């Protein structure tokens, strides 16, 4: 199984989020050691999210804009 955490905005990132959770309730009574991938949505190009799958298309508005487009420019002007 592949587990991941999808961060939707940079403010969601925290320095202690390292992609691993380790927990031991009582010594010598078992433990949990769980790893996961961290996906930072704002680092994925919006164009890639639009064209990969119908399921990822709604996430494109949170993806990385093309270098030629500023935040105040219309995002959808690029795709007409």
Per-residue model confidence as pLDDT tens digits over 26-37:
888 888 899 999
Q: Is the pTM of this model over 0.75?
A: no
**Tokens standing for 36?**
């996961």
State the chain's mean pLDDT as an integer.
85
Q: Where are the domains of the chain?
A: 4-79
pLDDT tens digits, one per residue of 31-56: 889 999 999 999 999 999 999 889 88
Q: What is the pLDDT of residue 75?
A: 47
């Amino acid at each position: 199984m592949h587990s991941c955490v999808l961060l939707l905005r940079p403010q969601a990132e925290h320095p202690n989020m390292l992609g691993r959770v380790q927990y031991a309730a009582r010594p010598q009574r078992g433990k949990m050691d769980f790893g996961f991938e961290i996906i930072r949505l704002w680092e994925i190009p919006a164009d890639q999210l639009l064209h990969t799958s119908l399921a990822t298309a709604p996430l494109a508005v949170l993806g990385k804009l093309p270098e030629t487009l500023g935040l105040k420019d219309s995002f959808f002007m690029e795709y007409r």
